[in-house]
């Protein structure tokens, strides 16, 4: 996430149509026109007189901080929420989708931010739910499967479509969700942070598909926090802040700094996305893993963890990054090697043991595993700390309130108050609350898996400030990320993984994007996210 536009463009080279290729001007009658849209929830004015225009054949970025109202706009458009006021026209005709099925019939296909489809149904059933081919009124499983296979082939995915969706990785599930929405979108395709769990190659496949759709005259609404992707794919951008329209711009006429300023309402210097290094107590390693590994999971590796040090973990999707984290945190028990803490042997047979040893792990799949939707923001933040203290030793309400408020402030979690059920927060703010949950346990060793996914640029900078502060206090961090420039921005050293093996450790001045990409791709075809091949 450095201020480097050339990086973004390089990633798209070789693609059929470049970002500067405007297929429609602002003067044509828009395909979708939203005027004065308003929507309030108890205590929040999520949308306040927002205008939005989408032209046929364009990719239109919908941007804004966490909680700005992007997802709400999409949900009002597609009939999930009823609007309080305003007008929506599709192809000049006023529309008012009563529910999502209605929106689908109107030709609006959507990938929602939180949707995970239905893990207990087959891939094919997920793709064609509600519109399966029938014979004599009965579903034809064979034809559904054949259609599903053909559809997914267009995404370079050849999987068993009769297996349950839940058997596949989050990335595959995401592609299935996208494929479904694309297939449903006769006129408009809406993608709410679709790339949050995709790797670089999959993102490129998605971009290719989006460009094919726009060539057919379909308008695409694209919500993301990856600004590189905005510049690589989108023609125009509409920015929201606190439920209000900030403005609409052509991407070609927009600089990155200006865009960030529009989103945040203040300037953010590139330097703020970098970590200031090294005032914390440097010291001896307090954790050591030797020959640590698990058969058919992660090859044995050696690793030492020192206080105040940030170890970045880089590698392609499936290279064993998350697996390494799960092994270190005891979610999977190692069957080889040993671990020592402060010189004493440490048995990491379960997450409980890891927590007892002062470890904390903020997992990647926060959307589905992390939050407890009906509990309040405060309770969600306190959960891990309370579990560690034991249920017989509860925090007093005052203490927990003060602690929650501190994290809400430190991470800028946008919520009217700490007692709001967390499911009512925007996606990015839920993630910040989860990060707070683990920080509240005051660990010695914190593992973060993709900590900035779905978090806006402003909050991103704040998380880097937080990492700085934690390191000054002596915390050791292991951070997994697909964004190489992000890893470079905060890591003291970078562990590189390939094919489930640790293949290198890059340290000190060598920690650069080029070196890391080189190490990842030492053999085999590989491009890392946002980085020229």
Partner 1 sequence: MTARNLPLIATLVVFIVAYALCAMQFPAMLSLRVVANLLTDNAYLGVAAVGMTFVIISGGIDLSVGSVIAFTGVFLAVVIRAGIDPITAFVLVLIITTLFGAVMGAMIHYLETPPFIVTLAGMFFARGACFLLTTDSIPIDHPTWDFITSLNYRLPGGGRLTLVAMIMLVVFLAGILVAHFTRFGTYVYGMGGNRQSAELMGVPVARTTVAIYALSSGLAGVAGIVFALYTSAGYSLAATGVELDTIAAVVIGGTLLTGGVGTIAGTFVGVLIQGLIQTYIIFDGTLSSWWTKIVIGGLLFAFILLQRGLVHVAARRRAAARMAAA
Ligand X SMILES: Nc1ncnc2c1ncn2[C@@H]1O[C@H](COP(=O)(O)OP(=O)(O)OP(=O)(O)O)[C@@H](O)[C@H]1O
Least distance between partner 1 and beta carbon 99 (Å): 7
Q: What is the dihedral of CA 172, 177, 183, 188, to 10 degrees?
A: -130
Residue whose C-alpha is closest to residue 193's, from 278, 343, 71: 71
Least distance between Mg ion and beta carbon 76 (Å): 13
Binding site for partner 1 (CB under 8 A): 80, 99-101, 103-104, 110, 112, 114-121, 125-126, 129-130, 132, 134, 137-139, 141, 162-164, 167, 180, 296-297, 318
Please report, for residues 287, 295, 329, the alpha-carbon distance to residue 345 in angstroms, rounded to integers and kept in the order given: 10, 21, 15
Least distance between partner 1 and beta carbon 500 (Å): 8
**Among 7, 24, 71, 400, which residue interacts with Mg ion (rule: CB under 5 A)?**
71
Least distance between partner 1 and beta carbon 122 (Å): 9
Of 279 and 335, the one with the shorter C-beta distance to partner 1 is 335
**Residue with smallest beta-carbon separation from ligand X:** 428
Residue whose C-alpha is closest to residue 227's, from 185, 186, 266, 270: 270
User: In whole angstroms, what is the distance from residue 445 CA to residue 356 CA?
Assistant: 11
Tokens encoding 212 = 């094919």
Which 3-state string (H, E, C) describes 26-83? Answer: CCCCCCEEEEEEEEEECCEEEEEEEEEEECCCCEEEEEECCCCCHHHHHHHHCCCCCC
**Among 64, 427, 443, 530, which residue interacts with Mg ion (rule: CB under 5 A)?**
427
Least distance between partner 1 and beta carbon 104 (Å): 5
**Tally of CB atoms within 10 A around 376:** 19
- How many residues at the interface with Mg ion, by CB under 5 A? 4
Q: If DSSP codes are grouped into helix, strand and coil, which group holds residue 172?
A: helix
**Residue with smallest beta-carbon separation from Mg ion:** 71
Of 50-58, 65-73, 132-140, 260-268, the segment contacting Mg ion by CB under 5 A is 65-73
Least distance between partner 1 and beta carbon 518 (Å): 23
Of 154 and 421, the one with the shorter C-beta distance to ligand X is 421
Of 124 and 519, the one with the shorter C-beta distance to partner 1 is 124
Residue whose C-alpha is closest to residue 114's, from 51, 170, 47, 182: 170
Tokens encoding 307 = 């206080």
Least distance between Mg ion and beta carbon 64 (Å): 9
- Partner in contact with 424, chosen from Mg ion, partner 1, ligand X, none, beta carbon below 5 to 8 Å by kind: ligand X
Least distance between partner 1 and beta carbon 423 (Å): 9
- Partner in contact with 425, chosen from partner 1, ligand X, Mg ion, none, beta carbon below 5 to 8 Å by kind: ligand X
Check the CA dihedral 123-125-126-132 and report its sign: positive
Residues 6 or more apart whose Cβ sits within 8 Å of residue 269: none
SS3 content of the chain, % helix, strand, coil (to 5): 35, 25, 40
Of 44 and 251, the one with the shorter C-beta distance to ligand X is 44
Tokens encoding 275 = 């970590």
Of 59 and 97, the one with the shorter C-beta distance to partner 1 is 97
Of 46 and 184, the one with the shorter C-beta distance to ligand X is 46
Tokens encoding 393 = 């030793």
Of 71 and 104, the one with the shorter C-beta distance to ligand X is 71
Of 110-118, 444-452, 455-463, 495-503, the segment contacting Mg ion by CB under 5 A is 110-118
- Partner in contact with 343, chosen from ligand X, partner 1, Mg ion, none, beta carbon below 5 to 8 Å by kind: none
Of 241 and 500, the one with the shorter C-beta distance to partner 1 is 500
Least distance between Mg ion and beta carbon 432 (Å): 13
Of 2 and 162, the one with the shorter C-beta distance to partner 1 is 162
Binding site for ligand X (CB under 6 A): 41, 44, 46, 64, 66-72, 113, 414, 424-429
- Partner in contact with 116, chosen from partner 1, Mg ion, ligand X, none, beta carbon below 5 to 8 Å by kind: partner 1
Please report, for residues 25, 54, 61, 487, the alpha-carbon distance to residue 58 in angstroms, rounded to integers and kept in the order given: 9, 7, 10, 32
Of 103 and 360, the one with the shorter C-beta distance to partner 1 is 103
Alpha helices per DSSP H over 304-358: 321-328, 351-356
Residues 6 or more apart whose Cβ sits within 8 Å of residue 442: none
- Which stretches of the chain bind Mg ion, using CB under 5 A? 71, 113, 426-427
């Amino acid at each position: 996430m450095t201020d480097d536009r050339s990086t973004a463009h390089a990633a798209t080279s070789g693609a059929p149509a470049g970002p500067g290729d405007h297929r429609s001007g602002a003067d044509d009658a828009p395909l979708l026109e939203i005027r004065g849209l308003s929507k309030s929830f108890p205590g929040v004015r999520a949308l306040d007189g927002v205008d939005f225009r989408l032209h046929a054949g364009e990719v239109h970025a919908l941007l804004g901080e966490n909680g700005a109202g992007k997802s709400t706009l999409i949900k009002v458009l597609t009939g999930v929420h009823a609007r309080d006021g305003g007008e929506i026209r599709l192809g000049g005709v006023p529309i008012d989708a009563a529910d999502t099925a209605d929106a689908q019939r109107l030709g609006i296909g959507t990938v929602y931010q939180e949707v995970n489809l239905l893990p207990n149904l087959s891939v094919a059933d997920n793709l064609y739910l509600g519109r399966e081919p029938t014979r004599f009124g009965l579903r034809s499983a064979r034809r559904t499967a054949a259609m599903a296979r053909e559809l997914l082939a267009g995404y370079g995915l050849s999987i068993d479509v009769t297996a349950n969706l839940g058997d596949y990785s989050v990335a595959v599930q995401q592609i299935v969700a996208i494929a479904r929405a694309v297939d449903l979108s006769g006129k408009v395709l809406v993608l709410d942070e679709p790339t949050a769990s995709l790797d670089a190659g999959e993102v490129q496949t998605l971009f290719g598909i989006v460009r094919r759709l726009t060539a057919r005259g379909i308008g695409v609404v694209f919500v993301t926090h990856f600004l590189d992707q905005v510049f690589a794919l989108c023609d125009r951008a509409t920015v929201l802040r606190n439920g209000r329209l900030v403005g609409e711009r052509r991407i070609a006429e927009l600089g990155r700094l200006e865009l960030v300023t529009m989103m945040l309402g203040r300037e953010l210097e590139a330097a703020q996305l970098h970590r200031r290094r090294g005032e914390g107590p440097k010291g001896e390693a307090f954790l050591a893993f030797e020959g640590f590994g698990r058969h058919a999971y992660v090859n044995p590796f050696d690793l030492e963890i020192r206080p105040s040090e940030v170890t970045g973990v880089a590698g392609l999707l499936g290279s064993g990054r998350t697996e390494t984290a799960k092994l270190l945190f005891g979610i999977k028990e190692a069957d080889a090697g040993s671990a020592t803490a402060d010189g004493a042997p440490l048995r990491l047979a379960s997450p409980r043991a890891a927590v007892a040893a002062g470890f904390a792990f903020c997992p990647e799949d926060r959307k589905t595993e992390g939050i407890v939707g009906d509990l309040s923001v405060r309770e969600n933040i306190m959960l891990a700390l309370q579990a560690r203290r034991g249920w017989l030793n509860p925090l007093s309400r005052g203490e927990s309130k003060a602690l929650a408020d501190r994290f809400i402030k430190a991470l800028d979690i946008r919520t009217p108050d700490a007692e709001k059920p967390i499911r009512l927060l925007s996606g990015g703010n839920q993630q910040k609350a989860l990060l707070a949950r683990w920080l509240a346990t005051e660990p010695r060793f914190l593992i973060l898996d993709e900590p900035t996914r779905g978090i806006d640029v402003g909050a991103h900078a704040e998380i880097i400030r937080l990492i700085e502060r934690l390191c000054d206090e002596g915390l050791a961090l292991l951070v997994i990320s697909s964004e190489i420039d992000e890893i470079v921005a905060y890591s003291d050293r970078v562990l590189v993984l390939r094919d489930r093996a640790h293949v290198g450790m890059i340290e000190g001045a060598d920690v650069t994007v080029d070196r890391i990409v080189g190490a990842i791709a030492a053999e085999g075809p590989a491009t890392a996210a946002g980085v020229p091949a």
